[in-house]
Structure 1
């Protein structure tokens, strides 16, 4: 084979077309599917308007200089009242970079999604060699100053590991930490030389719901991670903010971790679009979540964590229904609804029709159980606890997982 023929063969082998013959229709279907999913707010799909804005962005290399990304970082620093900001691919990386830049013991709310306690692949130990002390809120809702004081380690005893960082997550599973409690914890931490970090993946929801500015929410913290793809609907990206020295160090670790990116302008533009147009939609999201909560309670379902923002946790057992039954029937609808476990997440692309259809489904299942002889009154009087952890109730977990795959 001639060298020209060999080169042509290699060129043909390298080629790939990842678009389907019906890509536009497939994308439209995906958008419809997203509007009928309660699985997470990370599944929202970029809209045509977001893409149109994003493709006009600058084309620089972020390791050297990327104009649109720099503008976004400057805006985020100003918005949060910090000296500097760093754009990163994910909230996982943002939080891990913060911890690595500090590299000490962290107190976090029990099963807080950050710091890799359960869902970030052991990143805390792997990247930073840090020890975690996970604290369960005594009030079942949010960490208090008393919780922190009862668990913080302030000692020179060689047998102990002194606390260096306290991390809070706001919101956590949709619930809001009262700002006065955050300030009290922060004042105590700083008076003892302890750093404060916030996983603010969904801090946007707190600002929208309470009318508190992003800066005021971030003021008690030395560093904050804010996500653009949770809640706000951007396809990728988070921002880490803090002092100039802290961000300089975090940028160095970002490169070490493999997070030094190239032409990030379109990512930054998508995030900017989300901030400009999607943040304003969050109050409507919260209203839909509350409608979901009220409707479930009217049916007789137990609410284990209320719709303070975008999430509802529920238990259908008081009406004799299991999660697996709900997942199965929801997936069999003419326009299927996707869910899993005890958590229902409402997002900017959830439709009111989806809320109505889901409530109608649960109501129908409850009526069927009652007709079959199930007595809801026998369930009354049982304690109505909260389920405010990242470990979602897994009733018939194997069945639910199997049904979701189908």
Structure 2
């Protein structure tokens, strides 16, 4: 591939700007394992307050955050329910099973990204020593860029409550969802016992996620973070980036959504491209079979970076994609179809 001119691979590719770098350089730090890092403490307190939850824990990655949530809800031999294409089932290296001895129970997705409520309820195991004990249901929102409706999340919460189960949200892009819905993030995450929020995707920080939730679950997660090797020392340098992102990069997510829609509308002008109109900053494109391989190669050769997933192209807008990037990418695509 030629040098990347327009990078639509992921919102993880963003780089800290001057303001964020200054905040990191000036961060007040201490030893976080001892609870002495004031910047980390501020980030955790700020995130808990924003989501109206009892406590929060700063961790290196969303993968660790999701794993810690599952390990807080579950013991060895317990089970979690999640979608068959959910990130914490497909893309986290089987960590729940390998490191937590927690059994996954995957559920097929509906075309809109939800799991059928009946399928979820049917998957909950009875109290029988032949079965793993179902302990928690995990949702993901956004899911592939789609915003799962509040009514759906509340219905799943009702199932969890009826069966005495925990409810976890992989909210790596939860701020994208809340901005798209015009909702306060606290209202958006109300149904959940634990929520994982990624700082290094749309929010543009270089590293880190925050697990937020009930105090007892976060205390378990803090202990397990140490066990997994995730205890950090002067991590306020990283936490300062997260604090800067919460202050400056939440409302602007609407710009990413607008640009994703512009990109989708431009791509959809070509009949050979089947484009799912995006809810947020992620769009999916299928090229007709007779041009698909040639189109992929052409984009790469012309500096347009996208990734494939589940047989589709995924295009992601983010902090480092501006209007000129969208226009430039569409110009490259238009020339392919001349």
Do 1:167 and 1:196's aligned partners in 2 also have CA atoms closer than 8 Å?
Answer: yes
Do 1:301 and 1:314's aligned partners in 2 also have CA atoms closer than 8 Å?
Answer: no
> SS at 1:299's partner residue?
coil
Tell me what 1:212 maps to: 183
Do 1:327 and 1:340's aligned partners in 2 also have CA atoms closer than 8 Å?
Answer: no
Tell me what 1:325 maps to: 294
> Is residue 136 of structure 1 aligned with residue 108 of structure 2?
yes
With CA pairs under 8 Å and 6+ residues apart, which has the higher RCO, 1 or 2?
2
Tell me what 1:157 maps to: 128
Deviation at 1:304, TM superposition (A): 5.3
Q: Which has the larger radius of gyration?
A: 1
Q: 2:31 aligns with which of 61, 64, 69?
A: 61
Deviation at 1:135, TM superposition (A): 1.0
> Is residue 121 of structure 1 aligned with residue 90 of structure 2?
no
Do 1:293 and 1:303's aligned partners in 2 also have CA atoms closer than 8 Å?
Answer: no
Superposed, 1:91-240 pairs within 5 Å as 91-103=62-74, 104-114=78-88, 117-153=89-125, 155-240=126-211
Q: 1:39 aligns with which of 1, 5, 9?
A: 9
Do 1:337 and 1:354's aligned partners in 2 also have CA atoms closer than 8 Å?
Answer: no
In 1, the alpha carbon distance for the partners of 2:274 and 2:146 equals: 13
Give TM-score scaled by structure 2 length: 0.92
In 2, the alpha carbon distance for the partners of 1:254 and 1:81 equals: 22
Which runs of 5 or more structure 1 residues have no equivalent in the other structure? 1-31, 368-406
> SS at 2:280's partner residue?
coil
> SS at 1:298's partner residue?
coil
In 2, the alpha carbon distance for the partners of 1:141 and 1:250 equals: 28
> SS at 2:109's partner residue?
coil
Runs of 4+ in 1 over 4 A off after TM superposition: none
In 2, the alpha carbon distance for the partners of 1:361 and 1:236 equals: 32
Which runs of 5 or more structure 2 residues have no equivalent in the other structure? none
Do 2:85 and 2:109's aligned partners in 1 also have CA atoms closer than 8 Å?
Answer: no
> Is residue 265 of structure 1 aligned with residue 239 of structure 2?
no
Do 2:37 and 2:235's aligned partners in 1 also have CA atoms closer than 8 Å?
Answer: yes
Give TM-score scaled by structure 1 length: 0.77
In 1, the alpha carbon distance for the partners of 2:73 and 2:153 equals: 20
Deviation at 1:303, TM superposition (A): 3.4
Deviation at 1:337, TM superposition (A): 2.0
User: Aligned pairs, how many?
Assistant: 328
In 2, the alpha carbon distance for the partners of 1:152 and 1:303 equals: 37
Do 2:113 and 2:143's aligned partners in 1 also have CA atoms closer than 8 Å?
Answer: no
> Measured at CA, do residues 163 and 216 of structure 1 come closer, stay the same or move farther in structure 2, by a change above 3 Å?
same
Tell me what 1:291 maps to: 262
Cα distance per residue 1:54-98 (max 9 Å; x no partner) = 111112010011111101111111111111100001101101111
In 1, the alpha carbon distance for the partners of 2:166 and 2:6 equals: 41
> SS at 1:279's partner residue?
coil
Structure showing the higher strand proportion among its residues: 2
CA RMSD of aligned residues (A): 1.7
In 2, the alpha carbon distance for the partners of 1:164 and 1:302 equals: 42
